[in-house]
């Protein structure tokens, strides 16, 4: 069965980005690309990815328009955004409306929930979020884009240190109060 | 020199309590009282403690009015709150105004910054925050009382797992961009 895995960097106080969507606080940190929680090992299991419009635009801005992801990508947006690559599909509506297409695209592999926190919460509400995997940077921002906009019970499955990051993998148990 | 140590439980998304100041999400978690990040070892080094009015009132509510702390306590408030024990002093104004009294009370020991996140940020701005020690519960709340209301650079000093919690100790480097 397809696993939906939300894998993201976050600050210690639970923000994905500051109010101006800057990730300067993240990109300056030490991280061993072959160490615990490394991205290569995760990406090897990814067959499709889903993200919100803000995340999509951030990637394009920061990669200067280049799109390096090879997995089929679904961008949830209410706006009229243009796909910059053939493997990108713009979608709107509820996660469940697109479940069949997403899982068909993923094949035997997992779905990477790239973010942001509102979309991750919408996927969880639809029963389409199995894991939350975080790389916690040694930073607080005080305000910004929220990690996950819903009250949830998680279960800590793994944790370790990688460079300046705490890395942790959680199973999603359900809405807060599920256990 | 007196160390100011902010030691608190938090959710994975950086909240100290939900919007109604409930800690139900916290109190149901497993934690080994003798394990890593345990509170007894920390408290043995505490000579004085500081907290905001919301935190003070929460303790009184949840302890049914009992005050079990033996260290001198400074409660920062703009309201007319009554101390329920002889070792509690109500103060207002800036942290620096009370630095001498707090450090005299702590003696050779540390100051425990109990919370909340706004007071911790005010202390940091005054140069009175050396460490942030967190026990991260496997929960998201989506909204609530913020862990630390300021953009800061930290340095990860120690991390471990205790029961369902990630426990981590950070040194406060300074405002975000300090390194």
ipTM of the complex model: 0.96
What are the pLDDT digits (tens) for A103-145? 999 999 999 999 999 999 999 999 999 999 999 999 999 999 9
Parallel/antiparallel/unpaired status of strands B46-52 and B73-76: parallel
Q: What is the pLDDT of residue A115?
A: 97
Taking a C-beta distance cutoff of 8 angstroms, is the pair A161, A36 a contact?
A: yes
In which band, very low, low, confident or very high, does the pLDDT at B1 lie, cut at 50, 70 and 90? confident
A151: distance to nearest CA of chain B, Å? 4
Chain A residues in contact with B149 (beta carbon < 8 A): 142-143
What are the pLDDT digits (tens) for A45-97? 999 999 999 999 989 988 887 899 999 999 999 999 999 999 999 999 999 99
Chain B residues in contact with A148 (beta carbon < 8 A): 12-13, 140, 142
What are the pLDDT digits (tens) for A30-45? 999 999 988 899 999 9
Q: Report the C-alpha gap between A153 and A29 in whole angstroms.
A: 29
Q: What is the mean pLDDT of chain B?
A: 95
DSSP annotation of B146: E
Domain spanning B17-175, CATH architecture: 3-Layer(aba) Sandwich (3.40)
| DSSP E strands, chain B | 4-11, 15-17, 46-52, 73-76, 88-91, 110-115, 131-137, 139-140, 145-146, 152-162, 165-175
Q: What is the pLDDT of residue A1?
A: 86
Model confidence at B179: pLDDT above 80: no
User: What is the per-residue burial (b if ≥16 Cβ within 10 Å, else e) of B157-177?
Assistant: eebebbbbbbbbbbebeeebe
Q: What percent of chain B clears pLDDT 90, i.e. is strictly above it?
A: 85
Locate the chain A residue with the closest alpha carbon to B163: A156
Q: What is the pLDDT of residue B24?
A: 85
Q: What is the pLDDT of residue A84?
A: 95
A86: distance to nearest CA of chain B, Å? 35
Task: Suggest the residue from B140, B160, B161, B166 to mutate for an interface test with chain A (most A CBs closer than 10 A).
Answer: B140
In this prediction, residues B131-153 reach a mean pLDDT of: 97
Q: Report the C-alpha gap between A60 and A48 in whole angstroms.
A: 18
Q: What percent of chain A clears pLDDT 70, i.e. is strictly above it?
A: 100
Task: Suggest the residue from A6, A11, A12 to mutate for an interface test with chain B (most B CBs closer than 10 A).
Answer: A12
Q: Report the C-alpha gap between A170 and B136 in whole angstroms.
A: 12
What are the pLDDT digits (tens) for B55-105? 999 899 888 878 999 999 999 999 999 999 999 999 999 999 999 999 999
Taking a C-beta distance cutoff of 8 angstroms, is the pair A134, A13 a contact?
A: no
């Amino acid at each position: 069965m397809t696993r939906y895995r939300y894998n993201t960097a976050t600050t210690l106080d639970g923000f994905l980005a500051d109010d101006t969507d800057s990730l300067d606080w993240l990109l300056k940190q030490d991280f061993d690309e072959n160490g615990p929680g490394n991205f290569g090992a995760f990406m090897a299991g990814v067959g499709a990815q889903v993200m919100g419009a803000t995340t999509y635009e951030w990637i394009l801005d920061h990669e200067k328009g280049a799109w390096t992801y090879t997995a089929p990508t679904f961008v949830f947006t209410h706006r009229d955004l243009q796909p910059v690559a053939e493997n990108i599909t713009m979608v709107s509506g509820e996660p469940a409306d697109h479940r069949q297409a997403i899982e068909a695209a993923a094949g035997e592999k997992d779905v990477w929930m790239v973010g942001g926190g509102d979309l991750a919460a919408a996927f969880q509400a639809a029963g389409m979020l199995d894991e939350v995997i975080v790389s916690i940077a040694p930073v607080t921002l005080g305000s910004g884009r929220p990690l996950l906009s819903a009250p949830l019970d998680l279960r800590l499955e793994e944790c370790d240190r990688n460079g300046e990051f705490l890395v942790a993998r959680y199973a999603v148990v359900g809405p807060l109060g599920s256990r």
